[in-house]
Structure 1
Amino acid sequence: MMPVVMILKLDVLLSDKVFDLYSQSPWVTGSQMAAISDWSLFVGLELLSEGDCFGAVIHIYNMLQQLDVECKRIPILEHLQTLFKSKVFAGRSEPQRSFSSIFELFCGGAKILQAQGVRLLHRSKPKETCVSSKFSKISLAEMHSSTTQSFFHLYMPSAKFWTRLTDNPRIVQRYTTHENLFAQFPPSDTIRRAEEIIRPEYEGAFPIARLNCFAVLRLCQDIMLAIAARFQVLGTAAWPPGMEDIGSPSVLHIPSGIEPYVKIEVAVKCVRITMILIDGLLDGYALTRKRSDVGYSKMWKEHPDAMRPVVVMRDTIAEVCEGKKVEDFLWKSM
């Protein structure tokens, strides 16, 4: 569900006249197209932030690459991970271990301080009534992009954006009103400078301004639903032997042939359990290896039973993404 403020702003945007002579001028029409593009990206990023579907896919893919389980590089997931790693991963870089803890931070988990040091608070199911969880969840829409400026500042440059425009960190303190700012910096020159700043968002192999978030969301949904379906078919065979005898979660016993159980929430549970298993295995494996051996490239070959769910996810992601092209997830240039 979209936030109330977004709905109100969309109502204002849609209520404007667009067929009068004024709206048909090239300058205004260009501004309207820019607004449509900004809104599409902002709404799309908000949708990607909802739930844990997108984050789960990126975290799974990173784990597959870090564990070196012979997972082929998938171009679209490579681009998405590079573009959003500063938001999806706590610490702004791809984690090489503690996969479950870092995934929980993306889902809205919090850090708690204990006598032994900082420990991550795990939640197998995020509490909707928990205020700290709701507001600590990472939002992809908060990325530093021009669309964020458009949404929050009604196309008036924010203080940070003025600093980028002028390379002067005290510019807003010196000129307290927009009239004074534009008197010092003519609009034509300001627009040219803004173009230089914003242009990288539209250029390159995978520019954020051209990202079709709706196609990305559909891909992630397809991946997660396929994971749930695969684990349903395999049942306990998808997990290390003995897990059903130690009070493991009910997700290990997904009823076969019942369609409602093939859903994203079930797939996220499978991801959580898998990451916890792998983190435990990594901790034990690290005790017998040098600190410099952080790749664990041979671990899955030495512990094939423990790596069963990882292999299932690897094969499922490869199958869903087969034939997918990067350009399928970018809006086409006119």
Structure 2
Amino acid sequence: MMLPKGQSKKPKKIKQSGAYTWQQYRKHKYLLLLLLPAIVWYAIFHYGPLYGVQLAFKDFKIMEGITGSPWVGWKHFEYMFTASKDFPIILKNTVILSFYHIIFGFPAPIVLALLFNEIRSSVFKRISQTISYLPHFLSWVILGSLLITILSPQSGVVNELIKLLGFDPVFFLGDKEWFRFTLIASGIWKEVGWGTIIYLAALAAVDPHLYESAVIDGASRWKQTIYITIPQIMPAIAIMFILRIGNILDAGFDQVLNLYHPSVYEVADIIDTYVFRVGLTQMQYSFTTAVGLFKNIIAFSLVMLTNYVVKKSGQEGLV
């Protein structure tokens, strides 16, 4: 077949849509400039401190500084896995608490967002959302003091109600059997409202014509939720799940630090509180740096693994 004069047989290379060129960067330079404060923040406070990671491979001496301290290789990691009596306990506590947070805490904002989505009164919906958001803006220093007061076995409101029902008071923050339950419940109460924001945004993007078609077909509200709402917000759920798995060894430093005490260390001491307590009070900077580095490597690996599994399942991942 003859081609028109001047037309090449070789097909032109189609430029990928969304592939930014330097010309496009220059075109949007003022928009990209808005990223500068965030880039500076991360460079100073997140990437700059990575210089201190070398402490995990050194025997740190304050008078000699980081660069002058002698290298010891894998000494601290070997001690962590073979000789340390505390590390297996804190690793176990961290994994258990994080697992409970995922099992009970991760679905909580999804369920609450679905409930908010069913409210037809706009006034009641706004009031309910505002009430659910409020605990997020209070620090654990304030909430910790509040929980200590209302859960007190002598004069706490909760235990007064328990005694009125004829049961013995419960020391929620001092009993090993109840401490983890208290941590998980209080953590959900604080963050469940704030966590609904992303899911409510995803729900707002669902095409209303899908619901109209479902109503015509006779689908109940429950079936609409199962077959329309949840599948439509599944990409947002997948992204949030990947990010949550990355924090699986992050069991809530502020919360635990403000609520725990020596009598519950056996079930409450986690990696972050252990690093804080041993690193600062006992000045074991190199060993605790090794513990922190181990935690971050595991977190990064889990993010990559979860992202791979989510993409293989047909959902959008992070990268």
| TM category, shorter | under 0.3
TM-score normalized with structure 1 length: 0.26
**Which protein shows a greater Rg?**
2
